[in-house]
Structure 1
Amino acid sequence: MGLSTLHNVRFAGMASCVPKRTLSNLEDCPPKLRSERERLVRNIGIHNRRICPEWQCFSDLAFDATEKLLEELQWQRDEIDALIVITQSPDYPIPATAIILQDRLKLSHATIAFDVNLGCSAYPFGIHLLGSMIAAGTIKKGLLLVGDKSASTNDPLFSDAGTATALEFDPQAAPIYFDLNSDGSGYKAIIKPVGGHREPYAFHHGFPVRDAHGDLHWPDGLILDGPAVLSFSTQRVPPAVTRTLEYAGIDKEAVDHFVFHQANRMINETIRKKLGLPVEKVPSTLQDFGNTSGASLPVTMTVRLNESLSTGRHKLLLSGFGIGLSWGVCILDIENAKFPALLES
Structure 2
Amino acid sequence: MPLCTLQQVRFAGMAACVPKTRVSNLVDCKPELRPERQRLVRNIGIEFRRVAQSWQCFSDLAFDAAETLIESLAWQRDEIDALIVVTQSPDYLAPATAIILQDRLGLSHTTLAFDVNLGCSAYPYALHLLGSMIASGSVKKGLVLVGDRSSSPCDPLFSDAGTATALEFDAAAAPMYFDLNSDGSGHQAIILPVGGHREPVEVQHLIPYRENPQAPWRRAVDLVLDGPAVLSFSTQRVPLAVEKLLDYAQSTKDEVDYFVFHQANRMINETLRKKLGLPIEKVPSTLRDFGNTSGASLPVTMTARIREPLEAGPTRLLLCGFGIGLSWATCLVDVDGACFPEFIES
Give the TM-score, by structure 1 length.
0.99
Could you tell me which amino acid in structure 1 is paired with residue 318 of structure 2?
Answer: L
CA distance in 1, matches of 2:329, 2:335: 18
Give the 3 Å change call, closer, same or farther, for CA 131–217 of structure 1 in structure 2: same
Identity of aligned residues (%): 71
CA distance in 1, matches of 2:59, 2:254: 38
Q: Summarize the alignment of residues 190-209 of structure 1 with structure 2, pairs less than 5 Å apart.
A: 190-209=190-209
CA distance in 1, matches of 2:147, 2:224: 19
Equivalent residue for 1:51? 51
Equivalent residue for 1:292? 293
Equivalent residue for 2:263? 262
Give the TM-score, by structure 2 length.
0.99
Give the secondary structure class of the aligned counterpart of 1:106: coil
Could you tell me which amino acid in structure 2 is paired with residue 147 of structure 1?
Answer: G
CA distance in 1, matches of 2:251, 2:273: 18
CA distance in 1, matches of 2:217, 2:149: 22
Equivalent residue for 1:275? 276
Give the 3 Å change call, closer, same or farther, for CA 47–106 of structure 1 in structure 2: same
Contact kept, 8 Å, 1:311 with 1:337, in 2: the verdict is no
Note the alpha carbon deviations across 1:258-310, whole angstroms, 9 max, x for none. 00000000000000000000000000000000000000000000001111111
Q: Summarize the alignment of residues 21-100 of structure 1 with structure 2, pairs less than 5 Å apart.
A: 21-100=21-100
Q: State the shift of 1:204 in Å.
A: 1.1
Q: Which residues of structure 2 form unaligned runs of 5+?
A: none
Equivalent residue for 1:315? 316
Equivalent residue for 2:179? 179
Equivalent residue for 2:166? 166
Equivalent residue for 2:210? 210
Could you tell me which amino acid in structure 2 is paired with residue 34 of structure 1?
Answer: R
Q: State the shift of 1:311 in Å.
A: 2.4
Give the secondary structure class of the aligned counterpart of 2:312: coil
Equivalent residue for 1:141? 141
CA distance in 1, matches of 2:116, 2:62: 15
Q: State the shift of 1:29 in Å.
A: 1.1
Note the alpha carbon deviations across 1:124-156, whole angstroms, 9 max, x for none. 000000000000000100000000000112100
CA distance in 2, matches of 1:104, 1:214: 43
CA distance in 2, matches of 1:144, 1:101: 11
CA distance in 2, matches of 1:61, 1:2: 33
Question: Alpha carbon RMSD of aligned pairs, Å?
Answer: 0.7
Q: State the shift of 1:2 in Å.
A: 2.9
Could you tell me which amino acid in structure 1 is paired with residue 323 of structure 2?
Answer: G
CA distance in 2, matches of 1:2, 1:231: 23
Note the alpha carbon deviations across 1:204-254, whole angstroms, 9 max, x for none. 112112214554210111000000000000000000000000000001100
CA distance in 1, matches of 2:69, 2:195: 34
CA distance in 1, matches of 2:266, 2:139: 39
Give the secondary structure class of the aligned counterpart of 2:10: strand
Superposed structure 1 runs of 4+ greater than 2 Å apart: 212-216
Could you tell me which amino acid in structure 1 is paired with residue 247 of structure 2?
Answer: E
Equivalent residue for 1:304? 305
Q: State the shift of 1:203 in Å.
A: 1.6
Give the secondary structure class of the aligned counterpart of 1:216: coil
Could you tell me which amino acid in structure 1 is paired with residue 13 of structure 2?
Answer: G
Give the 3 Å change call, closer, same or farther, for CA 109–255 of structure 1 in structure 2: same
Could you tell me which amino acid in structure 2 is paired with residue 306 of structure 1?
Answer: R
Give the secondary structure class of the aligned counterpart of 1:63: helix
CA distance in 1, matches of 2:309, 2:322: 25
Equivalent residue for 2:243? 242
Could you tell me which amino acid in structure 1 is paired with residue 96 of structure 2?
Answer: A
CA distance in 2, matches of 1:208, 1:265: 29
Q: Which residues of structure 1 form unaligned runs of 5+?
A: none
Give the secondary structure class of the aligned counterpart of 1:66: helix
Note the alpha carbon deviations across 1:35-93, whole angstroms, 9 max, x for none. 00000000000010000011000000000000100111000000000000000000001
Give the secondary structure class of the aligned counterpart of 1:2: coil
1:16 aligns with 2:16: yes
Could you tell me which amino acid in structure 2 is paired with residue 106 of structure 1?
Answer: G
Number of paired residues? 345
Give the secondary structure class of the aligned counterpart of 2:316: strand
Could you tell me which amino acid in structure 1 is paired with residue 162 of structure 2?
Answer: G
Could you tell me which amino acid in structure 1 is paired with residue 169 of structure 2?
Answer: F
